Structure 1
Amino acid sequence: MRKELPPPVPRLTVITLGVSDIRASIAFYDALGFSRRLKATGEAVAFYDTGGPVLALFHWDQLAADAALPDKPRPTTFRGITLAWNCRAREEVDAVLAFAVGKGAVLLKAAHETDYGGYSGYFADPDGHPWEVVVAPGIEVGEDRRVHLAE
C-alpha cells in the first residue's frame, strides 16, 4: 500500500509578463529600479527581484508557445489581471505614479480615494500590463519590501 503524500505547499514564486520588445521592457523595468538578476540569460528572459515573487519578462510569442496557447489574436484590452505596487503612504502613491510615467509608463487612472479607505491609481507598462499603485488599510509594506497582511 502506498503512503499518501501530504498536499503541496502553495506558493507564488514568479510572475511572467509576455512582452513585444524585450529590450524596451528591460530598459523600462531597469528604469523603475527593479533589480535584475541572472543577467546571463541576456535577452532570452529577464528576471527581477521585487522583494517577493520574481518578475520575469519573456517574449510574448515564446511565452504563449511555452504555455501551449495561441499567440494570436493578441488582446488589446483588459486581460483580467493587474500587478500591484503597494506603498506606505498616499504621498508615495503619487510619487510612484509620477516616477513610472516619467520612465515611459502610461497613466491609466490618476490616484484617487477608494471606496475601501485606500488611495490608488494605475499605470501601464510598455506592453499595456496594468499596475495598480496603492496604499490600502490592512496591508503594510515592511522595511524588507514585503507586504504584510493583517489577520
Structure 2
Amino acid sequence: MSKELPAPIPRLTVITLGVRDIRASIAFYDSLGFSRRLKVTGEAVAFFDTGGPVLGLFPWDQLADDARLPDQPRPTTFRGVTLAWNCASREEVDTVLAFALQKGATLLKAAHETDYGGYSGYFADPDGHPWEVAVAPGVEVGDDRRVHLAE
C-alpha cells in the first residue's frame, strides 16, 4: 500500500486556445486590449495578460498533437467550455459586447437579464471560442482586474 501524497496547491494558470490562424488570433486579442507578453515566442505561441490566468494561443493542430489528441474532426458545435469577461455594470457588458463585435467577434447571444439576477451576452472569437460577458450578483471585478467572489 502506497503512502498518500500531500495535496499540491491548486492553480489555474494558463488557458490555451487552439487557433487556425495564429497571426489573425494574435491581432484579434491584441485589439481587444489584452497585453501580449513573451513576444520572443514570435508566432509559435502567444501569451496574453488577462489580469487572472494567462490566455495562450497555439496553432490548433500543434496543440492537439502536444496533448496527444486527434486534430480531426474539428468541432463545429459547442465544445463544453466558455470563457468569461466579467464586468462591473450592465452598461459595461453592453460596451464590451459592442467593442468585441467591432474587433471581429461574432454575436452569439445579445445581452439580456438572467434568471439569477445578472445581465449577460455571448460573443465568439474568430475560431468560435465562446466568451460570456456578464455582470452577476456576488461576483465583483476589482481594480486589480481580478474577479472576487462572495463567500
TM-score (norm 1): 0.97
Partner of 2:36: 36
C-alpha displacement of 1:3: 7.7
AA in 1 matched with 2:126: P
AA in 2 matched with 1:82: T
Stretches of 4+ aligned residues off by more than 4 angstroms: 2-5
CA separation in 2, counterparts of 1:102 and 1:84?
A: 18
Question: Quick check: 1:94 aligned with 2:94?
Answer: yes
Q: Secondary structure at the residue paired with 1:107?
A: strand
Partner of 1:79: 79
Partner of 1:117: 117
C-alpha displacement of 1:6: 1.9
CA separation in 2, counterparts of 1:36 and 1:3?
A: 43
Aligned residues: 150
Partner of 1:107: 107
AA in 2 matched with 1:7: A
List runs of 5+ in structure 1 lacking aligned partners. none
CA separation in 1, counterparts of 2:33 and 2:120?
A: 20
Deviations along 1:19-38, whole A, 9 cap, x unmatched? 00000000000000000000
CA separation in 1, counterparts of 2:117 and 2:102?
A: 27
C-alpha displacement of 1:5: 4.2
Partner of 2:7: 7
Partner of 1:126: 126
Partner of 1:55: 55
Question: Quick check: 1:147 aligned with 2:123?
Answer: no
CA separation in 2, counterparts of 1:52 and 1:92?
A: 19
Q: Secondary structure at the residue paired with 1:111?
A: strand
CA separation in 1, counterparts of 2:134 and 2:99?
A: 14
Q: Secondary structure at the residue paired with 1:78?
A: coil
Deviations along 1:87-118, whole A, 9 cap, x unmatched? 00000000000000000000100000000000
TM-score (norm 2): 0.97
CA separation in 2, counterparts of 1:15 and 1:69?
A: 17
Deviations along 1:59-110, whole A, 9 cap, x unmatched? 0000000000000000011000000000000000000000000000001000
